[in-house]
Structure 1
Amino acid sequence: MTGNVRAPAPPGINLALYWHLMRLRARTRLQYRASLVLAWISQGFGYAGTFASIWVILNRFGGLGGWSWPEMAFLLGFHTFAYAIGAVFTFTQFRGMDAMVREGEFDMLLVRPVNPWSFIVFSGVDLQYGSHFVLGAGLMITGAAALPLAWDAGLMLRFLASLLSAALLTGAMFTIIGAFAFVLGRSRYVFGLYFDLWELSRYPIGIYTAPLQIILFTVLPFAYMSFVPVSVMIGKPVPLLGGAAPVLALAAGPILALLAALFWRACLRRHQDIGG
């Protein structure tokens, strides 16, 4: 597809198009409100059961890796809420990338005057994360109410920036997994591996061995999804990072988003070269 030259559309037209695609997707999904609500309820019960088991463990043993229940509640709530923000725009969309590539649907996007990544993201906005937002907000409020946090303008700004960084991290990782479809032909199986490891990010990183901690801070940066930003906000020490933790809590998401964009473009160029 390298021989096809597309004239870029004016930014205003693209923004209007993406907004229209989001509205269209939302209206389509809301046509089946009962199905959507049932999905929220089923997911909500699944997550609530997991969080309840963690609460039982913490109350039985008095803590987990030096974290009390209010601290864990804030950690779990932040993790769930930030993940949902990123997943709304990327999970369903990139989970189906291998089918789009294999069936030639993605190649159709390459001859349109739109950015393929943006079109995929905004045309597939997923509303199934309602229970994630409710549970995440509820846990954060519950935890914050029992913690000595001074919610001044500085802390609120850090909280919002940390949420955005963690959401970008989620979106970036799903983008990277989706890009594998360009070179491997299949990428869906990688999502299973991703979620097996993603479970580790729900807990304080300090409970893991040193080699696994290093991996979660570097190769698989799950530590920045909740542990690092929450630790900084509530004043708990961060192993390995030390004084760099406050900066990395905000910078991890944008950095990985940039790396994901470069990886996406590199894989896309290879796909175009193979396709001719």
Structure 2
Amino acid sequence: MRDTLSLLFYLMRLRVRTRLEFRASLVIAWAAQAFGYAGVFASIWLIITRFENIGGWTWPQMALLLGFHTLGYALGACFTLVQLRRMEEIVLGGEFDTLLVRPLNPWAYLVFSGFNIEYGGHVLLGAGLIVWALPQIPIEWDVEASILIFGALVSAALITASMLTMIGACAMILGRARYLFGIYFDFWELSRYPASIFAPVFQIALVSVMPLGYMAYVPVSVLLKRPVAYLGSAAEIAALAAGPISVLAAVVFWRFCLRRYQGGGG
């Protein structure tokens, strides 16, 4: 076990060192991503400036929501998005067959060897929004609130990694899976807004079959003492438990798909 972990972290360090060979392009990529997201957030700010709020959410509250959403996503996607979005090509090209004969879990090899540090712009922007927004909002600071903030960010990262893992795993059965990422990101974009502004069917979807509401909306609502539809008093526990539950679901689904994998050609 120790040797396996050492090897995985070595692969991750090797990936980071390789990417740092081109520091200028890396910084440019960070800046480009940050400006892209900042443009979207600026449009939300303009709407709130014009109408004062979105579904009762003021700009500092929305900034906290966007910060949670962006940072949690970045922490999960840096291990999974680029790597597992290639699963279709990996399977159809026969590369996945070569991973199965290596003395290392294929999922672990993919995510650690492909660790992506290009999410630096996301991390800085998300953390910056959180740091700016928290002093603007009257939050009752105690140990419970601190645990909720830290735990919710970890949970958001786990949800992101789990969802992307399950989508990528579909390639082992379907052969084609890239189009599923488009569906995922449609819901992901909805989850950066308060779920309460959507129709009940979308609210239910964001806390059940597509649990992206737990990335930001549910934990931030709990911090702000706002009611969460369909969860009620269980919202805080659900926000912290959603990540680990998603991981268990992803593990089961990955193994299910792996058992039914019959080769993709190549």
TM-score normalised per structure 2:
0.96
Distance 2:140 2:197 in 1: 27
Q: Does the alignment pair 1:225 with 2:215?
A: yes
Q: 1:92-151, CA deviations, whole angstroms, 9 ceiling, x for partnerless residues?
A: 110101111111111111111111111111111001111111110111111101011233
Distance 2:264 2:168 in 1: 17
C-alpha deviations, 1:150-188, integer Å up to 9, x for none?
333332122111111111000000000100110111211
- Of residues 130, 144, 168, the one that matches 1:140 is 130
Report the Cα distance in structure 1 between the residues aligned to 2:224 and 2:202, rounded to whole angstroms: 23
Q: Which residue of 2 aligns with 1:64?
A: 54
The number of equivalent residue pairs is 265
**1:152 counterpart = 2:142:** yes
Say what the alpha-carbon RMSD is for the aligned residues.
1.3
Q: Report what 1:259 is aligned to.
A: 249
Picking from 87, 90, 109, the partner of 1:97 is 87
Letter of the 2:44 partner, please give it. Answer: I
Partner of 2:74: 84
Judged with a 3 Å threshold, the aligned counterparts in structure 2 of structure 1 residues 134 and 273 are, in CA distance, closer, same or farther, namely closer
Q: Give the CA deviation at 1:272.
A: 4.4
- Name segments (4+ residues, structure 1) moved above 4 Å: 272-275
* CA distance in structure 2 between the aligned counterparts of 1:13 and 1:247, rounded to whole angstroms: 35
Give the aligned residue type for 1:179.
A
Q: Percent identity?
A: 56
The answer to whether the aligner puts 1:246 opposite 2:236 as a matched pair is yes
State the distance in 1 between where 2:155 and 2:239 align. Answer: 8
Following the alignment from structure 2 to structure 1, what is the Cα–Cα distance between the partners of residues 211 and 9? 31
Distance 1:273 1:43 in 2: 36
Where does the alignment leave 5 or more consecutive residues of structure 1 unmatched? 1-10
The letter of the residue matching 1:145 is: P
Task: Give, in angstroms, the shift of residue 73 of structure 1.
Answer: 0.5
Which amino acid is 2:200 matched to?
A
2-side partners of 1:184 and 1:195: how far apart? 20
Q: What is the match of residue 7 of structure 1?
A: none
Amino acid paired to 1:150: E
Number of the residue aligned with 2:18: 28
Which of 183, 191, 199 is the matching residue for 2:181? 191
TM-score, reference length from structure 1: 0.93
Q: Secondary structure at 1:128's aligned position in 2?
A: helix
